[in-house]
Amino acid sequence: MSMKSMTRLTTGLAVAGIVSALALPAAADGKFDGVTLRVATFGGSWKESLDATITPKFEALGGKIEYVTGSPQANLAKLIAGRGRAPFDVMEILDAQVPDFAATDFLAKIDLSKVPNTKYLADFQYNDMMVASWNTQETICYDKDKFAELGVARPTTYSDLAIPALEGRISIPDITSGGGLANFGGFAYAAGGDEVNVEPGIELIKSLKALKFWSRGGETITQFGSGDIYAAVVHAGWCVRAKNAGYPVTSVHPVINDKIKGVAKEGWLGVMKSSEHKEAAVWFINEYVGSDFQYRAATKNGVMPVNQEVIARLGEDPVLSEMLELDPAMIAKALRVDYSKVDTSDWIDQWNRMVSTQ
Amino acid sequence: MTVRWDLLLIPSFLFTFILLSVSQTLFLEGSFYKDLGLGRTGDTLDLVNYVRVFTDGFYLTTLWITVKVSALATICTLVFSFPVAYVIARMRSSWGMILLSGIVVSTFITIVIKVFGIIIIFSADGWLNQFLMSTGITTEPYSIIGTQEGVVIGLMYFTLGFGVLTLYSVVQTIPTSLEEAAEIHGASRPRMFRRVILPLAMPGLVAGGLMVFNMCMGAFTSAALLGGGKVFTLPVLIQRTIMMEVKYSMAGTLAAVLLVAVILINVLSIILIRRMHFARGVLA
């Protein structure tokens, strides 16, 4: 072998070695090769945020994520219809559904040692069945220009919306929507009722003479755009999105009573017992509560993160600091409906009767 | 050797029968059990759901609203589609086929898009409200969202194309020679319509009307989107009962009530029309 050939061979081997060395971490990280993780979550910009932050990381590990988009209520219905055999591995759970999951056997235990990002959460935000994923701050989102044009003052309570100028110009969440139960509880408390006595809340809702009871928050953005509504009871995230879409809106955290201001709703994540990819599902939950997704979801979707490190950063964002309540003392004052006291079926029944008599 | 073409019907019949009967039987059977929450049902036969539906004003009102908006939408569909069907059926130029094709194509558009089109047209800043307000016809924007009128418009839009196509084939069966004969004998157009076209088209109108009515009774999208959560029809209530409350038995009961109501209305309509037809024959 000539000297030239030896040099070529050595160079070739060196290049191959470098390439192999570079490729090694990817090969080692391919721990989810061939795994297709199915995640039951929300569609639209929420899914986009997941796609922008978590999906590429999972794909780098060799797996693929399929998002089954829909409301948690619809997903729970699928789960029940399938007697626990879920068409997904991990799902979003609303706080109102926590008692339902406690009464069933649909969730697998989560090995919290595989969710190191729980270090960013408060202790009450995780257990071995569920991990908190987001909070929403239910607000009154209103069109500042329209209110000024009509000479209507900035609302501070729900009953401030019960004026002739706003008749037929308000949108309220339908009880079957994601924020429906939380806000229904908010109305009940604001009118002097509670989880057991919602009658005063029903009267308050009637007095608002709403145009529509929305089933998807995105509808309110469309209706702000079309001039159909001037105010909506909706979580701050939709108000952020409406503002980002160019509408002159802002949000108010309604005073519920002397001690309570604002209404909070919590989201959780759980792994399905029927899942064949529990390790991947737990990995997904860890990424979900990690800083990347939490920051993206807060800034793009306007939800309140559960990740403390991200919450600390939100004050720098002018839109979020305007729309969200970031003061921990004030956050603690928000109403959190105690769903263990709620007879959901009775609430829905009362709601349906209210609607049919309007 | 005789070819048994009728045997070709068996696969499609079995396919339809199995899909329809299995799903309906499951729901119908489930309707006779009590809901225990979270999709669970009792294990003893019970009429509690039916008793509730027929004694509770809320469910009766919902049934009444469903029948009312469906009937109104059917009348509107027939009123709007018959003249269109008549004109197209009597066209001698190729425009008839072009218009008919246009109507067929319009039925391909998903109802969601159609309904959103209506929502845009009737929105506060939409061109219709801008026109009404700029001409002083109204001072406030008129909204159809969350109203029964809106649901009727949505249902009518949903069934209009079907109505035109059905009535087109009805008008085509009426010989033009009869119209010409009436015209020669001095009948005016309204009189000819009343005495010749309408009686001859009546069986087709009734059949088409019932089909449109049945479609409206089962329609979900128009009622859900234009009802704005404020107008409950039975299909909307069934969806809410399944998806939110996960009460399969009650949903099955409501579905059974809807089915029986539709069948009863159809049978009664046919009996009524036949009696009217018979009475007219006796009087004549």
B137 assigned to some structural domain = yes
Token pair for A311: 């919450």
Is B124's CB within 8 Å of A226's CB?
Answer: yes
pLDDT digits (tens, 9 = 90+) for A207-261: 999 999 999 899 999 999 999 999 999 999 999 999 999 999 999 999 999 999 9
The amino acid occupying position B199 is P
The percent helix, strand, coil of chain A (3-state, each to 5) is 50, 15, 35
CATH architecture type of domain A36-135+265-326: 3-Layer(aba) Sandwich (3.40)
Buried b (16+ CB within 10 A) or exposed e, A96-108: bbbbbbeebebbb
B147 at interface of A, judged by CB pairs closer than 8 A: no
Q: What is the 3-state secondary structure (H, E, C) of A31-72?
A: CCCCCEEEEEECCCHHHHHHHHHCHHHHHHCCCEEEEEECCH
Closest-CA distance, A346 to chain B, in angstroms, reads 10
How large is the angle between the packed helices B248-283 and B198-218, nearest 10 degrees? 170
Test the B interface: residue of A175, A350, A355 with most B CBs within 10 Å: A355
- Of A36-40, A301-305, B106-110, highest mean pLDDT: A36-40
Is A176's CB within 8 Å of B243's CB?
Answer: yes
Report DSSP state, residue A165: G
**Exposure on the CB side of residue A189, measured as CA atoms within 13 A:** 24
Write down the pTM of the prediction: 0.83
pLDDT digits (tens, 9 = 90+) for A319-354: 999 999 988 888 888 999 999 999 988 999 999 999
Domain boundaries of chain A, sorted by first residue: 36-135+265-326, 137-263+335-357
H/E element holding A110? none
Mean pLDDT of chain A: 90
Q: A-chain residues within 8 Å CB-CB of B62?
A: 356
Q: How far apart (Å, rounded) are the C-alpha atoms in residues B28 and B32?
A: 7
pLDDT at A96 over 60: yes
B3 assigned to some structural domain = no
B8 assigned to some structural domain = no
Residue A189 pLDDT: 97
H/E element holding A207? helix A199-208
B18 assigned to some structural domain = no
B133 at interface of A, judged by CB pairs closer than 8 A: no
Residue in B126, B229, B121 with CA at minimum distance from that of residue A232: B229
Residue A28 pLDDT: 44
Q: A-chain residues within 8 Å CB-CB of B49?
A: none
Closest-CA distance, B224 to chain A, in angstroms, reads 10
ipTM score of complex: 0.82
Token pair for A342: 């709620």
pLDDT range class, residue A131, cuts 50, 70, 90: very high
Token pair for B7: 């045997």
Across A17-31, A47-61, A190-204, least confident range = A17-31
Query: Distances from the Cα of B94 to the Cαs of A41, B91, B98, B108, B128, in angstroms?
Result: 52, 8, 6, 22, 33
Class of domain A137-263+335-357: alpha beta
**Domain encompassing residue B217:** 47-283
User: Residues B38, A104: contact at Cβ < 8 Å?
Assistant: yes
Q: How many residues does chain B have?
A: 284
When divided into structural domains, chain B yields a total of: 1
pLDDT digits (tens, 9 = 90+) for B146-197: 999 999 999 999 999 999 999 999 999 999 999 999 989 998 989 999 999 9
Q: Which residues contact A15 (CB under 8 A, 6 or more apart)?
A: none
